[in-house]
Amino acid sequence: MTWNDYKRCLTLRYDQFIAEHQIRENQIDKDVRYEKITDVDRVQLGDGQYFYFKGDELKLIYLSAGKLASKLWEEFKSGAEAGASRTVVRSRAGKTSNQIVFSEQGITASVQGSDVDFIEIYPPQSLEDYQATIYREPKPFIR
């Protein structure tokens, strides 16, 4: 999927998403959490793609490290939206990783150098809302 495909997913209701992607019951985990987002259903699409729904609303898409996440991050960085305001925060992925937050565009990437640890895609929001409703400050890393 492309950046625009993922943004389109954020507009789909749960039943639409399930039908469009032909999701089977074994691809759904009920009543899970992602960072500060609780009581959500997680739909696994394969290739490290996880979609978190609260009721009918898609709250967050998580892409784990791999070719898909790297490709999407490169696509985003080469687009016009990458010139927008961004904030760098600590990442839970590791001591040398940082999360680059483009909250008003609805995307955050955890990166270590040029390697992508994971990507979060969510409805565009203020940085304050992202930090209050999604981001969880990682605990200190211990050797």
CA atoms 119, 40, 58, 124: torsion sign: negative
Let me know if residue 139 belongs to a domain.
no
Let me know if residue 41 belongs to a domain.
yes
Let me know if residue 125 belongs to a domain.
yes
Query: Could you report the per-residue pLDDT of 22-56, keeping only the tens digit for each?
Result: 999 999 999 999 999 999 999 999 999 999 999 99
Indicate if the pLDDT at residue 141 is higher than 80: no
Q: pTM for this one?
A: 0.94
Which pLDDT belongs to residue 139?
83
Bridge-based pairing of strands 57-64 and 115-121 is antiparallel
Indicate if the pLDDT at residue 104 is higher than 80: yes
Number of domains in the chain: 1
Q: Report the C-alpha gap between 116 and 64 in whole angstroms.
A: 8
Q: Which two tokens stand for residue 52?
A: 């978190």
Which pLDDT belongs to residue 143?
62
Output the average pLDDT for the chain. Answer: 94
Among residues of the chain, what percentage have pLDDT more than 90?
85
Closest to 101 (Cα-Cα) out of 124, 80, 79:
124
- The DSSP call for residue 1 is -
Let me know if residue 96 belongs to a domain.
yes
Query: Could you report the per-residue pLDDT of 54-76, keeping only the tens digit for each?
Result: 999 999 999 998 899 999 999 99
Domain range for 103: 3-133
